[in-house]
Amino acid sequence: MNRSRTSLLLLAFSGSLLLAGCNQQAETSVVTPSASEVAAASATAAASAAAQNPSQTLATEDGVISLTVNGRFEDKLAEAAQYVDGADSNKPSLLQYDANQDITITVSNFGAPKQPAEAYFAKLSESLKADQSLKDTAVDTPADQRMGYRFSHGQDDNVLNESCVAVYAKNLYTVCAASSTASLPELDALLKNLTVKQ
């Protein structure tokens, strides 16, 4: 009896190999979801993402700069020295951190401008491009009293990406998003909804 079972198994296995050799395949059935099912799944995924990263509006202490972002950012201004190099001498106006996304957003107020906007942006652009410690440096053309720029710095597994917007208003501001895990385009996207009150 065991011998006949083994023979039947070998026969079935041989038949499978024979069919495969002839390019015959067993029939399979695939059910394609309807457009409404796909739309419902997409809406559910979007709602889940929004729940994980709700919209927030972050604003500087003076109310001049505000930024609407998605995430769970928390105020870390009291702990500035842990997040920003040189925070003791140049305290940020805003410092927010989202631990889930590993992103820090800072706004620094550098006081009243001492030169026209065109000269300020030209000098800043030149300085960024000349800094050999920065990698992947890109500087946008100034527009609407703003100039975006981005770069990476650090080495090996300790690389920090930063995307910033320099703002020329009654005071000079720099708004930056920094992360060791988020890409430069992801950081750029965070700074898209920037508002300046004159």
Domains of the chain, by residue range, sit at 55-196
Picking from 167, 193, 180, 162, the residue whose alpha carbon sits closest to that of residue 108 is 167
User: Residue-wise over 121-132: b if at least 16 C-beta within 10 A, else e?
Assistant: beebbeebeeee
pLDDT in tens, 165-194: 999 999 999 999 999 999 999 999 999 999
User: What pLDDT band is residue 158 in, cutting at 50, 70 and 90?
Assistant: confident
How far is residue 42's CA from residue 48's CA, in Å, rounded to a whole number?
Answer: 10
DSSP 19-34: HHHTT-------PPPP
Between 13 and 112, the higher pLDDT residue: 112
Q: Are the C-beta atoms of residues 153 and 160 closer than 8 Å to each other?
A: yes
Compute the mean pLDDT over every residue in the chain, rounded to the nearest whole number: 78
- Per-residue pLDDT for 94 more than 70? yes
User: What pLDDT band is residue 61 in, cutting at 50, 70 and 90?
Assistant: confident
From the options 3.40.50.1010, 3.40.1000.10, 3.60.20.30, 3.30.70.560, give the CATH code of 55-196: 3.40.1000.10
Q: What is the pLDDT of residue 44?
A: 52
Please state the pTM of the whole predicted model: 0.71
User: What pLDDT band is residue 157 in, cutting at 50, 70 and 90?
Assistant: confident
pLDDT in tens, 98-116: 999 999 999 999 999 999 9
CA-based torsion, 68, 179, 128, 90: positive or negative? positive
Between 28 and 35, the higher pLDDT residue: 35
Query: How many helices (H) and strands (E) are present in the chain, helices listed first?
Result: 5, 10
Portion of the chain with pLDDT greater than 70, in percent: 69
